Amino acid sequence: MAGLSGRAAAPRAGRAASERSEVEAGDPIGDLAARIGCPGIGSDLLATALTHRSWCAETEGAVSNERLELLGDSVLGFVVADRLYRTHSELPEGGMAKARADVVSAPALAKLARRLDLGSALRLGKGEEASGGRDKDSLLADAFEALLGAIYLACGMEEARSWLVDLISGELETAAAVPGSQDFKTQLQERCVQERGELPRYQVLATGPDHAREYRATVALGGVVIGEGIGRSKKQAQQAAAETAWKSLGPS
């Protein structure tokens, strides 16, 4: 993967000195900085992008990546939609929406995060670490969005766009060729009706405080649970459960 170009924006006047600090090599976050190739990003900003709320609960004064995640989600949605519009004029509005959803889904973003090995640089609390948080789709997808938000802040929109498009060009083409191929909930419903004559049934349980909800979903067919999944929203959790169920059913 090509890194960001040498046109990275210089830090804006007034930016906090901590955000201008150099990223040091030899530690997980420094190594990540070298992999992503973003010379304009400061160590504090990059560290924040990798900080899960569980770390903050155990570390006084730490700031989680949730605000950066929200920012990165907006950048991601815009860049993907813009790219699809400009390069795939054959796609109608519905096709664009499905293709965009495929690219920005939590499982798709988690795959990108694994490609960058974000898991090795995550800052997690002891409980999240012990439960395998470094390889959870939901945490990796959130961290990827937060990283994109940090790149946008440090290097500007054009550099963030260039970095992202270079990284996801293959996923964009696949999604444009077969829009909706990652919509496992719809695919599972159609398959269950066709093969079994009944609809899959979902149950969703929310845990955690209002500002940090986690959802766990199960999907059952004929009263038997065939898939489970977790996510930061009901939709994400149901999609994750549907994907597990789809794969458990084997070839259609």
Active-site residues: which are they? 73, 145
CA distance 38 to 44: 14
| Residue pair 188/245 in contact by the 8 Å Cβ criterion | yes
What secondary structure letter does DSSP report for 24? P
Measured CA to CA, the distance from residue 207 to residue 138 in angstroms comes to 14
Rounded to whole angstroms, the Cα distance separating 216 from 209 reads 14
Residue 67 in contact with residue 53, Cβ under 8 Å?
no
For the chain, give the number of residues. 252
- Report how far residue 104's alpha carbon sits from residue 188's, in angstroms, rounded to the nearest whole number: 20
Contacts (Cβ under 8 Å, ≥6 apart) of 36: 3, 4, 116, 147, 151, 163
3-state secondary structure of 100: helix
